[in-house]
Structure 1
């Protein structure tokens, strides 16, 4: 017998991480952590979080989730309205310097995003796959053997994204800058050839063909 998550309706097995609400409903680990915890882990529910959710009814949980979604939608709309406003604004009127960061001559900041961004860059990896067919060995003399058979080596090329930095993002008229306590990562617009937008970030393509992916944290 399985129960269902009151948010997504997914069937929850006996060993599936979940928490039982005060009125006997169930909440899966993903939505428990996503809406009430600090991450989207699906493997477990922290004890203090589970204990708190057990004191709430399903209606209370749905109410809290609804308020959370409304607040997130409001934040997203405010960000979109702000960005849309920038498209029709004379950005020089809001340009400024940033304390603690050495901007270039005639470089000014236009926009700062108050959440951390993950900076991923495209990397390539080459691996060799060795294959050997049927083999045999002929003993010729002491310490001397002759091996019969075939060995084939295949080369496999793989492209992947590697996270190399994360921090708060600042947009200037010359660069995209990420800042954290360890340092600064910058991407000059002179390298930028095209962009590919996604729901969770944007891919920046340079003339050399290299791609980087500033990704919003979930």
Structure 2
């Protein structure tokens, strides 16, 4: 029944589109002089244009009803699966889902063999596997965590089919949060590059972001209601000047960007390394964490003023700050 509905929808779109374009063609022909319209060359051109209109109508109607291709769900994943490989794609997805909750118990060869069977008849097997893997990654990250079984499946497929996932920060972050929130342990990770901070024993870097703005609440004093004074003429060439006064002193607070630098969260501390500002804040001394889009505001214990950091993954940073003290 569903197939019949799609066929009828396709025919409806095709006929409407073709008639619309054909009417435009008739209008153009009617506007031509009779001598040109009746020439053999004009007839040949009309026939050629009609064929083109039929193809365009078919293509638009087909894509409207059936879709031209399946695209990856994440913007960065531009992998597309050809419409001829859709069945192979669904087969690979089913093969992956069969491994859920038992990846470590199943031999890696079994997973790969099942996938190879699915793509044996595919025109573009590499794209089919990539698309299925990317979709699985997105589904796994719906809760923001990556458990050991999900990690096992992703690692097995990416390793055997040479799919590079090193630049996928979502996977990295989800793996860290799973270790901290669920397993209650610091993940064993290695951060690349030079880190300009001295770490303590068993302290590891969990998050690093450059070009982050440090925003502070700055208090300045100004005077309200003051005057520079004024002069009163008493006689010719003689003036009396009434003295100036500053007025009432008022303190005004505002939030300002005071520095830009590197923002780091380790397993024990939060660091900010800027040109003029250098900060090291123990995670356990942070009493509030308020995330917002691309930023976070923290409050230390005591009478310290709030600090705001802008230009970071606020969701990930907030989860690190509130969950690390629980380990």
Considering fraction of residues, name the structure with more strand.
1
Q: Which has the larger radius of gyration?
A: 2
* TM-score, length-scaled by structure 1: 0.48
